[in-house]
C-alpha cells in the first residue's frame, strides 16, 4: 500500500541532485566497549542505524535529546571517535568512499568541526592568528578583521587570547574560522548552546551566511525550534537511529512531522502547548527488537514491539521509520 505519493523527479533532476551531493551516511553504527560492574564487558550501542544526506549549500539539522550520542556521531563522521569504540557503515564524501586516508586529508581542510566545547582553541595564541592560519589565500590581518565584523565581533578581538573571550564570542570566532576556511562541509555541534534568545537568532543568521558561501552545514542540536528556523532539512535522531528526515518545505506548507517521536518533540515546544510525553530513550546497553520508540509511542501496536520498521523513502531525501506514519 502506498502511504505517500513519491515525487517523481526526472532523470536529469536526479543526476543534478546526485552531483550536488556532499556527504552521504548510510547504516552508520558506533558501539562502545567498556567494563561494567564486576569487570564484565559491556557494549553500548550509542549509534545504531544512522542515515543522512547533505548537499552543497544546504543546512541539515540533526535533532536529538541530550546525551543521545550526537557528539559521537560528529566524531564518527570525522573519524575522531574514542579508541574504545567501533564504527561501522558507509560514508561517502562527494560521491566517493571516505576512507581513513582520505578522511585524514580532508579533516580540518574540506571538513571542519565547530566543537561543542568552547575551550577548543589554543589558549596561548591570539584568536585572530588562529583564524588567519585557516586562510589559504588573502591571509592578511585585515581580511580576518573584516570577517570578524561580518560575524559581529569587534576587530580588536584579533589580538585577544581565548580566555579573554566570553562563550558567545568564542562561538562567533568558530563561525569566523569556518568562513575564513575553504571547507565545504561544516559540522557545528550545538552552536547555540548557552546563548540567550537574541544571540541564538544571530548565530542562526551566521549559519545561513555559511550556507550562502555554498558550504554544507550539519547543525547538531537538541533545540528543535532553532533547527526549524535555520535548516533546509531536519533529521531526527532517537535511540541512535534516524527516525525521520523532513524537508523544511513540507513543514512550511503546513505539513506535519511524520514520526510520532518528532511530533512529540514538536508538541513539547512552548508555542505548541508544552505537551510532554515520557520520552526516556531506551538504554544504550539494550539490544532492541522492534521499533525503538514503541514503549513511548501512543500509536504502537503488537507489530511495533516485535518488528523493526525500516526507513521508508518519501522522496529522494525525505524518509520516515514508522509502520503507520501518515495514517
Ligand atoms: N569515550 C566514551 N566512553 C564511554 N562512553 C562515552 C564516551 N563518550 C561518550 N560516551 C557516552 O555516550 C553517550 C553519548 O554521548 P554524546 O556526547 O555523543 O551525547 P550528546 O548527544 O552529544 O550529548 P549532549 O547533548 O550532552 O551534547 C553518553 O551517554 C556518554 O556518556
Ligand atoms: Ni554533544
According to DSSP, residue 32 is labeled: E
Distance 73 CA to ligand 2 centre (A): 9
**253: in domain:** yes
Is 307 inside a domain boundary? yes
Q: Which ligand is nearest to the CA of 76?
A: 1
Confidence of residue 326 (pLDDT cuts 50, 70, 90): low
pLDDT at 279: 65
Answer whether residue 15 shows pLDDT above 90: no
Beta-strand relationship, 312-315 and 318-320: antiparallel
Establish if 174 belongs to a structural domain: no
Nearest CA to ligand 1 atom 1: 82
CA 192 to ligand 2 center in whole angstroms:
12
> For residue 80, is pLDDT > 70?
yes
Ligand 2 centroid – CA 168 distance (Å): 17
What DSSP string describes 170-203? HHHHHHHHHHHS--SEEEEESTTTT--HHHHHHH
Instruction: Give the pLDDT band of residue 36 (cuts 50, 70, 90).
Output: confident
The arithmetic mean of pLDDT across residues 206-234, rounded, is 96
Task: Give domain status of residue 39, yes or no.
Answer: yes
Residue 32, ligand 1, Cβ within 6 A: yes
Average pLDDT over residues 181-210: 94
Render pLDDT for 45-64 as a digit per residue (tens, 0 to 9).
Answer: 999 999 999 999 999 999 99
Domain count, the chain: 1
Q: What is d(CA 241, CA 28) in angstroms, rounded to the nearest whole number? A: 9
Mark out the alpha helices in the chain (DSSP H runs).
Answer: 11-19, 70-78, 100-106, 127-132, 141-150, 167-180, 197-212, 224-230, 248-252, 260-267, 302-306
Q: With H, G, I as helix, E, B as strand and everything else as coil, classify residue 24.
A: strand
Please indicate whether residue 71, judged by its CB atom, sits closer than 6 Å to ligand 1.
yes
Ligand 1 lined by 46 (C-beta under 6 Å): yes
Q: Is 116 in the pocket of ligand 1 (CB under 6 A)?
A: yes
Which residue has 523493526 as its cell numbers? 308
Mean pLDDT of 236-262: 95
Whole-number pLDDT of residue 5: 45
Of all protein residues, the one whose alpha carbon is nearest to atom 6 of ligand 1 is 32
Q: Of all protein residues, whose CA lies closest to atom 23 belonging to ligand 1?
A: 67
Convert the pLDDT of each residue in 126-150 to its tens digit. Answer: 999 999 999 988 889 999 999 999 9
Distances (CA, A) of 51 to 2, 91, 233: 22, 9, 13
Q: Has residue 170 been placed in a domain? A: no
Ordered DSSP codes for 77-133: HHT---TTEEEEEEEEETTEE--HHHHHHHBTTTEEEE-S-TT-S-TTS-HHHHHHT
pLDDT digits (tens, 9 = 90+) for 116-125: 998 999 999 9
What is the Cα–Cα distance from 78 to 104, expressed in whole angstroms? 9
Question: For the segment 152-176, what is each residue's pLDDT rounded down to a tens digit?
Answer: 999 999 999 999 999 999 999 999 9
What's the ipTM? 0.97
Q: Is residue 2 part of a domain?
A: no
Counts of helices then strands in the chain (DSSP H, E): 11, 12
Residue 177 lies in a domain: no
Label residue 87 exposed, middle or buried (CB < 10 Å: 0-12, 13-18, 19+).
middle
Q: How many Å lie between the centroid of ligand 2 and the Cα of residue 190? A: 7
Q: What is the mean pLDDT of residues 248-267?
A: 94
Average pLDDT, the chain: 91
- The whole-number pLDDT of residue 122 equals 95
Which of 30, 46, 285 maximizes ligand 1 atoms within 8 Å of its Cβ, making it the mutation to test the pocket?
Answer: 46
Q: Residue 134 C-alpha to ligand 1 middle, in angstroms?
A: 29
What is the pLDDT at residue 175? 96
326 CB under 6 A from ligand 1? no
In a domain, residue 168? The reply is no
Q: Is the CB of 69 under 6 A from ligand 1?
A: yes
**Which ligand 1 atom minimizes the distance to the CA of 75?**
18
Q: What percent of the chain has pLDDT over 90?
A: 77
Q: What are phi and psi of 92, to 5 degrees?
A: -120, 140
CA of 82 relative to ligand 2 center, distance in Å: 14
Q: Which residue has its alpha carbon closest to ligand 1 atom 2?
A: 82
Tell the residue number behind the cell numbers 527516525, with chain if given: 243
pLDDT digits (tens, 9 = 90+) for 283-311: 898 888 999 999 999 889 999 999 999 99
68 ligand 1 Cβ < 6 A: yes
pLDDT for 280: 82
Query: What residue numbers bound the domain in which 216 lies?
Result: 11-110+183-320
Q: What is the mean pLDDT of residues 198-225?
A: 95
Model confidence band, residue 2 (pLDDT cutoffs 50, 70, 90): very low
The CATH number given to whatever domain includes residue 27 is 3.40.50.300
Rounded Cα distance, 294 and 84, in Å: 30
Amino acid at each position: 500500500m502506498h502511504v505517500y505519493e513519491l515525487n517523481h523527479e526526472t532523470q536529469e533532476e536526479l543526476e543534478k541532485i546526485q552531483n550536488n551531493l556532499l556527504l552521504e551516511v548510510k547504516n552508520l553504527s558506533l558501539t562502545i566497549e567498556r567494563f561494567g560492574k564486576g569487570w564484565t564487558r559491556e557494549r553500548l550501542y550509542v549509534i545504531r542505524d544512522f542515515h543522512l544526506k547533505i548537499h552543497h549549500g544546504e543546512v541539515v539539522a540533526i535533532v536529538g535529546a541530550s546525551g543521545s550520542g550526537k557528539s559521537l556521531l560528529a566524531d564518527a563522521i570525522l573519524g575522531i571517535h574514542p579508541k574504545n569504540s567501533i564504527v561501522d557503515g558507509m560514508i561517502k564524501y562527494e560521491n566517493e568512499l571516505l576512507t581513513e586516508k582520505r578522511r585524514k586529508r580532508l579533516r580540518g581542510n574540506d571538513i571542519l568541526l565547530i566543537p561543542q566545547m568552547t575551550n577548543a582553541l589554543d589558549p596561548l595564541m591570539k584568536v585572530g592568528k588562529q583564524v588567519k592560519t585557516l586562510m589559504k589565500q588573502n591571509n592578511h590581518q585585515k581580511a580576518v578583521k573584516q570577517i570578524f565584523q561580518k560575524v559581529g565581533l569587534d576587530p580588536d578581538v584579533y589580538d585577544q587570547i581565548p580566555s579573554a573571550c566570553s562563550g558567545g564570542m568564542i562561538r562567533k570566532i568558530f563561525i569566523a574560522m569556518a568562513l575564513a576556511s575553504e571547507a565545504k562541509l561544516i559540522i557545528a555541534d550545538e552552536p547555540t548552546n548557552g546563548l540567550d534568545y537574541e544571540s541564538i537568532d544571530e548565530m542562526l543568521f551566521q549559519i545561513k551566511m555559511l550556507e550562502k558561501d555554498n558550504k554544507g552545514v550539519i547543525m547538531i542540536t537538541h533545540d528543535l525550534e532553532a533547527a526549524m528556523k535555520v535548516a533546509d532539512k531536519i533529521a531526527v535522531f532517537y535511540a541512535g537511529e534516524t527516525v525521520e528526515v523532513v524537508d523544511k518545505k513540507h513543514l512550511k506548507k503546513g505539513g506535519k512531522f511524520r514520526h510520532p517521536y518528532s511530533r512529540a518533540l514538536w508538541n513539547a515546544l512552548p508555542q505548541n502547548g508544552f505537551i510532554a510525553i515520557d520520552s526516556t530513550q531506551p538504554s544504550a546497553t539494550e539490544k532492541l527488537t522492534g521499533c525503538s520508540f514503541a514503549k513511548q509511542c501512543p500509536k504502537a501496536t503488537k507489530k511495533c514491539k516485535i518488528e523493526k520498521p525500516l526507513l521508508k523513502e518519501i522522496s529522494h531525501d525525505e524518509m520516515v521509520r514508522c509502520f503507520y506514519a501518515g495514517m
